[in-house]
Amino acid sequence: MSVKQVIIQRRAYRSLDPIPISTELLNDLAECAQLAPSCFNKQPWRFVFVTDRSQLEKMYQALSTGNDWVRRSNLIVAVVSGREMDCVIGEREYFLFDTGMANAFLMLRATELGLVAHPIAGFDEARVKEILAIPSELQVIALVIIGARAEKINPELSPRQIASEKQRPERLPLESLVFLINSNHQRAIRRCYD
């Protein structure tokens, strides 16, 4: 599969089955994240792989309403970083940007391997930090929920969630997110904030 095919194949499906967990799989995903670019090569990302049954049960307790579908996954990756771990240039803080890129590499590799890798922000960060013993100065930016796509749609999903299993949620049109610099560019960029 080409990178573009993997990008197209990636979807945030919520109907999941558990997967066989192996050291090879975890290393493979970690190695892809490891190769991401970062400001001054600071590599601010940390990934905590949760596969242990009792830890998973605790993680399920930290989920927000609407994320019960996560309980079908047996691999949760906590994506962790901190402001001080990466470049800060004036008001530009790079830790979220760089960690996001590394996470995207991990997610695309999972997709290439035929898995679903679904990022979520709907969790209680304080509880997750306690469960995983994450130092207080760091942030748990997201959890990535990994599983196999189930053949049948999870009947516990909401109507909106069921709709997005069938069809990818709509994207903004290209003309509202991409701008070509030319003599009209100032007008184009203003439109971006309309």
Residues making contact with ligand FMN (CB under 6 A): 11-12, 14, 67, 119-122, 142, 164, 168-169
Shorter beta-carbon distance to ligand FMN: residue 37 or 122: 122
User: Residue 183 carries which side chain, given as an amino acid letter?
Assistant: S
CA torsion, points 5, 6, 11, 15, in degrees to nearest 10?
A: 110
Shorter beta-carbon distance to ligand FMN: residue 58 or 188: 58
Residue sitting closest to ligand FMN (CB)? 122
Shorter beta-carbon distance to ligand FMN: residue 14 or 129: 14
Shortest Å distance, C-beta 120 to ligand FMN: 4
| Residues 6+ positions from 70 with CB-CB distance below 8 Å | 60, 63, 76, 120, 143, 145
Shortest Å distance, C-beta 168 to ligand FMN: 5
Shortest Å distance, C-beta 165 to ligand FMN: 9
For residue 172, what are the CA distances in angstroms to 34, 106, 169, 176?
A: 31, 25, 10, 7
Is residue 151 within 8 Å of 174, Cβ to Cβ? Answer: no
**Length reported for the chain:** 194
- Closest alpha carbon to 144 in 125, 172, 161, 121: 121
Shortest Å distance, C-beta 184 to ligand FMN: 31
Shortest Å distance, C-beta 18 to ligand FMN: 18
- Closest alpha carbon to 74 in 133, 152, 21: 21
